[in-house]
Structure 1
């Protein structure tokens, strides 16, 4: 080859290299612009997504604070709601002004509803009006649903955009392969950069896809994925005529863990629960977290209700194993509702509602597991009606008290009365305490009910005192009251309001109330003792063993349960228990009180055993307040 030919080849090679470099430069420029555009767009989407997430978080915080305030109106429950009112407005305004057209449209539509909800909440904080709270709760539900839908749509837009960007990059790689023939090293290097960028895009797309369908805390499926999988499973079950079961699992007393140990411990507990649920079911089953401490388990091809119930029992067994959280060992329990397709419903959303109804029935009946029955709707409506009516009865003062006298066992002299709540329902007539007390305990009404009874009992005690009769009064205290440190202050205010000596009030507490949270219970009881109030352990011997706590709590009396007292003259075992409990009370310096005394022989046996005080129908049945003074006069005359 001549010099001229070599020169021509060099020129061609130079020209080719120049073209190759220009092509590579063009490809690099194209890639850079594409990356910047994608990054800017994704950043915009992420910014909008973060704003929407904060809006949802503020709505949830306000809703939780509203629920707490409706349960008990105290300074500690009012302040969180005041702080959360209107917190999401800034983010909504930003989205309305700076978001994408779709985000701006939704934000502009939600702003009036949010402002209206804010004003409603402020009105409820100021007045405590229940309808305003209900209106705010409904508005929160609407806001949460619309914001959640927008967040899901944004995630889908992000995924679709990233997929489109990946397709464009695929076309760009074809051009790089052509350029690689001109300058392999440069194109190869540039190709590696693009391949790395592509992997990042795919990872981000996979991450977005996972986050859109999974719970961030537990890694389980979320409501969106559950709904999609349930729709597919229901369609398959109906086509093949095979049973499908949906289980709703709700933890018991999870709120106590959050309140006592903090939300961090609550999150750790939820992760362990998620793991146990996954271990307890098959690989083909789907476990999802619906929110809070509520989970769902989808069981395709379960076969029958009996099989589904067996799985539910297996889940409860897995949950029952002790859980260790940061050195503390806790016991976990739950309630499971079971609904089947197509037996109960052929629609996924309705199946979810049926399983939820069954779960609440299991929680209400403390049965652990309940299978959906059409009658549950009627029972649920009846239960909700009872809760509402009892709340109104407390608020309107429809409850009244009867008083059962107590007397010294050795002399028969009357030494006080026990206040017993009664409810005269406007349509149902007299409602038994064993019907409405459990309703109060299960639905957060036991604390206002306890305060109501203490207030009414002290008011009556004041009236008797003004009439010349000093009659100490005993009141049963709900277990929930011993978990709130402000309870002694409430009792102090009531005693001061009625101008009575604190010694005239005895508060009867149960062993189980102490054991459920002994540290806090001891603190509350110490506060009550410092007021001068007398404390009594009610139904002693029938609950948990709390003998060790008798040393640390300054209680004044031990009340022997009627199940031991009633048959002590005919049952040697009951007699031995009564003698042992009386001796235990004396050893701890406590007054022994026996309830359920129905005859003279039992009274005499108790007096001989060293019992201090007796109470029962042999002495007197519970009396209306207006009959107590006359009874006391007759009793005093007969005793004299």
Structure 2
């Protein structure tokens, strides 16, 4: 019947009701220490009277020390609740009790060896009461209580065992068995106390009792386990009393051995009770009842063993005492089990065996009287009415709990209904106000942008409609402005959407400063804002107002990640000159803002001619899409020349498009931005890359010449871009080392982490990476250092600057590139003078019209035949050379 973990979980301790439990501990300790003082005095008086113990004065002082915890506990009770410190005061009280126990252990070490067996038995019996006085108040804190119990009993038990008297060895071990039995007592007391606290405070939510047949059976089984601890403890006391009563010098050892065995049986039964209380579902109900019944049988057999083993030493009087004690045992053994018919009958039937044995012993009248009393009580115990009464009592408790549960539910429900009625009354009284507030809120949400707080598209359209109606009535005019932020997408993608939202809020705040009764600002969508100036203005005034806005928006915006700057483009449409409907005005303002972006003017006032250009642009986009789909985008190749050797090192592939419908050549400066804006760039870039690789392998299959192809940020963002490059190289049989990808500095304003990863993968494949048009974009030294780059291509504007004294800036760029271990390509060399300047200032490769204009890919073979085998002559001018004839140097074949 032992549990897997003897220490029950119900004694694990809890912070629940800590203040109430501490107060109850102090109250119980006041009485308990006085009981300890009384019985300690009795024990010492008895020992002193029998042995003349010489340290009576010292132990008297020890007895007076009992007043210290009593006074301490009383003072705690008298304190105000806010002045109490439960944890600290309980710990101090525990230390005091430990000090008292330690002192008594020292006294016992000195006294016990000097006592005769009878005196020692009486002293120990009295001291057991003192032990309980020390420890039982701490049942409210079972871990501390059991520790104090062990500190009391273990030293005493060990000392009795080690006295050298064989007759008391078992007596000493009984203390250890008693210690383990006390787990049951502490479990029972702790549960009773906690249940009382919970009932008093009503802090545990009531659970509806299970009124089913199975639920009732479980309750009965739980009842016999949870309520049998007192019966076990009383039987243990009766057993101790019997051993003391029957004590004789020749049988003392056997009697204490029997008591040790009996206490061990009760310890196992207690373990079974605890196991069920901790986890009733661990076993089936039938198994729990079987184990409990086995405990009853073993318990009764233990009493039979006492009668059989020690019958010979029982005199007439002692036999009567034993018979009377069996009556007591028969009564108290039924405590807790009256609700179980089978166990009740089993226990009662076994209680009849001892009197029958006594009857057959043919003892005198004392035995006969005892037998009659025992038989009568036993018969009364097994009467069916007892069982029925117990069962009805259990049912009554269940019904009471159900009634209390229902009453509590009804109370809660009534409270909820009352609260609901009050809330409903309050809601009804405020409903009209809430509807008005909600209507205003909905109107605000319907007409305003939630991020910026400005008016939204619907609100602005309504304002424009109102302005048009006033214009018709008063023959006035007004202006519509469409503002589009520059580089917002780069900030939003590069720094994140939260940063983008912060930028939009800051822009909205600045626009709000420009708003008034006559100037209405709104967010049109994304990074577009619209402004309505509800008064007649001239084109010049409108343009001036827009320029002021653009200049104001250029001021840096402070974000958590640091300051950012961005510009804006504004398109202006005037009523009635540029339209008489909201749709026309907004459409024309949109055309104007596109014009401002394309020409980088910042502000544009709508011109009717631009409408035709917009239509033309749409047609051009459609024609470009058709050209890409039908592979009509061609390439031209412009050579790279080595500065040191003058040899050809490779080509740059340049896109070319001739519109076959209109039979005109479209400039790359026109159709490449158009491809990026319309999303056609990835497809066009893929075609150009493929044609460049095919041309190089067709014309120079066995050389080391490379081809450089421009790619856009849009291509790098494609998930399959790396696969496209690898597929094209594999399909034409071209080594990756002969391919160079040229990027503009705009890549540094995009998703830097993703682009760096893509470029790193390409470079690992062997592809070379270069930065084109360096110095015209967003690059910084940190980007040049961190990105996987091979080449830096100096923009032709710096070469043109050499004609006006820009040598210092040019040299700085070359030094920067070399410091970062990057090679330098100089583009835009158009004259002998440009070449001489570049040769003097540095660089590894040169590109420009001076060597060759872009060559149609279909004519590349012819050009190579006349140039590839003859390096260009690179002669530098030196100050020591004669001036004459130096201006005649020109590029020629060697």
| TM-score computed with the length of structure 2 as normaliser | 0.46
Q: Quick one: structure 1 residues 200 and 557, their matched pair in 2 at CA, closer, same or farther if it must change by over 3 Å?
A: closer
Q: What residue is the counterpart of 1:554 in the other structure?
A: 788
Q: 1:21 is matched with which residue?
A: none
Q: Deviation string for 1:356-404 (max 9, x for gaps)?
A: 3222322333322221221121111111112221222122110111112
Are the equivalent residues in 1 in contact too, given 2:744–2:772 (CA < 8 A)? yes
Is 2:689 the partner of 1:457? no
The question of whether the paired residues in 2 share the 8 Å contact of 1:244 and 1:341 is answered with: yes
Shift of 1:190: 11
SS at match of 2:786: coil
Q: Are residue 440 (structure 1) and residue 675 (structure 2) matched?
A: yes
Conserved 8 A contact 2:807-2:841: no
Q: CA separation in 2, counterparts of 1:196 and 1:492?
A: 70
Quote the Cα distance in structure 1 between the aligned partners of 2:777 and 2:499.
28
Distance 1:437 1:278, change over 3 A: same
Establish whether residue 319 from structure 1 lines up as the match of residue 553 from structure 2.
yes
Is 1:392 aligned to residue 626 of structure 2?
A: yes
Give, in angstroms, the shift of residue 274 of structure 1.
2.6
Report what 1:135 is aligned to.
Answer: none
CA contact (8 A) 2:737 2:768 kept: yes
Paired position in structure 1 for 2:68: none
Shift of 1:418: 1.3
Deviation at 1:530, TM superposition (A): 1.6
| Residues 577-635 of structure 1: CA deviation (Å, up to 9, x unaligned) | 44443344333332222223334554455445443222223322222223323332332
Q: Relative to 1, partners in 2 of residues 1:396 and 1:341: Cα closer, same or farther, differing over 3 Å?
A: same
1:94 equivalent in structure 2: none
Q: Is 2:545 the partner of 1:301?
A: no
Task: Find out whether 1:428 has 2:640 as its counterpart.
Answer: no
1:335-350 to 2 correspondences below 5 Å: 335-350=569-584
Deviation at 1:516, TM superposition (A): 5.3
Corresponding residue for residue 867 of structure 2: 635
In structure 2, what is the Cα distance between the partners aligned to 1:605 and 1:293? 46
Residues 556 and 190 of structure 1: CA distance in aligned 2, closer, same or farther (over 3 Å):
closer
Deviation at 1:473, TM superposition (A): 0.7
Q: Return the match for 1:214 from 433, 438, 448.
A: 448
Measure, in 2, the Cα distance between the counterparts of 1:596 and 1:205. 66
Structure 2 counterpart of 1:585, from 808, 817, 830 = 817
Per-residue CA deviations over 1:216-255 (Å, capped at 9, x if unaligned) read 4433333333333322222223333333112222233444
Which of the two has greater strand per residue?
1
Unaligned runs of 5+ in 1: 1-188
Residues 271-329 of structure 1, C-alpha deviation per residue, up to 9 Å, x if partnerless? 33333222222244322233333322221124323332233233323433333445453
The aligned runs of 1:565-584 (5 Å cut-off) are 565=799, 568=802, 571=803, 573-584=805-816
After TM superposition, the score normalised by the length of structure 1 is 0.63
Q: Secondary structure at the match of 1:555?
A: coil
User: In the aligned structure 1, how far is the partner of 2:566 from the partner of 2:831?
Assistant: 44
Aligned to 2:643: 409
CA deviation profile, 1:456-512 (whole Å, cap 9, x unmatched): 11122222354x444311112224334556533432332233222111011122234
1:373 corresponds in structure 2 to 607
Q: CA deviation at 1:405?
A: 1.8
> How far, CA to CA, are the matches of 1:433 and 1:394 in structure 2?
14
Mean Cα deviation higher: 450-459 or 591-600: 591-600
In structure 2, relative to structure 1, the CA distance for the partners of 1:227 and 1:287 (3 Å cut) is same
Q: Which runs of 5+ in 2 are unaligned?
A: 1-422, 872-893
Q: Is the 8 A contact 1:473 1:504 kept in 2?
A: yes
Partner of 1:596: 828
Aligned mate of 1:621, from 853, 865, 869: 853
Does the C-alpha gap of structure 1 residues 190 and 456 become closer, same or farther in structure 2, counting only changes over 3 Å? Answer: closer
Pairing of 1:234-383 with structure 2 (within 5 A): 234-383=468-617
In the superposition, relative to structure 1, how do residues 388 and 286 fare at CA in structure 2: closer, same or farther (>3 Å)? Answer: same
Instruction: Give me the CA root mean square deviation.
Output: 3.0
Could you tell me whether the CA contact under 8 Å between 1:485 and 1:523 is conserved in 2? no
CA distance in structure 1 between the partners assigned to 2:853 and 2:424 by the alignment: 95
Distance 1:377 1:565 in 2: 39
Whether the 8 Å CA contact 1:251–1:293 is kept in 2: the answer is: yes
Aligned with residue 477 of structure 1, among 708, 711, 718: 711
Q: Distance in 2 between matches of 1:298 and 1:542?
A: 36
1:104-115 mapped onto 2 (5 Å cutoff): none
**CA displacement 1:17-71 (0-9 Å, x = unmatched):** xxxxxxxxxxxxxxxxxxxxxxxxxxxxxxxxxxxxxxxxxxxxxxxxxxxxxxx
Secondary structure class of the residue paired with 2:610: helix
Cα distance in 2 between the residues matched to 1:577 and 1:408: 22
Greater displacement, 393-402 / 256-265 = 256-265
Name the residue aligned to 1:563.
797
Equivalent pair of 2:483/2:528 in contact (CA under 8 Å)? yes
1:503 matched to 2:728: no
Q: Greater relative contact order: 1 or 2 (C-alpha under 8 angstroms, separation 6 or more)?
A: 1
User: What is the rounded CA distance, in whole Å, between the counterparts of 2:796 and 2:553 in structure 1?
Assistant: 35
C-alpha distance in structure 2 between counterparts of 1:635 and 1:549, whole Å? 38
Question: Are residues 616 and 308 of structure 1, via their aligned partners in 2, closer, same or farther at CA, if it must alter by over 3 Å?
Answer: closer
Native 8 Å contact 2:518 2:535 kept in 1:
no
Q: Given that residues 484 and 524 in structure 1 are in contact (C-alpha distance below 8 angstroms), is that contact kept between their aligned partners in structure 2? A: no
Aligned residues: 449
| Cα pair 2:635 2:656 within 8 Å, conserved | yes
Contact 2:756–2:788, Cα closer than 8 Å, also in 1:
no
**Residue 200 of structure 1 is aligned with which of 403, 423, 434?**
434
Distance (Å, rounded) in 1 between the aligned partners of 2:458 and 2:801: 60
Farther-moved stretch of structure 1 (274-283 vs 410-419): 274-283
Asked if structure 2 preserves the Cα contact closer than 8 Å seen for 1:480 and 1:513, the reply is no
Paired position in structure 1 for 2:150: none
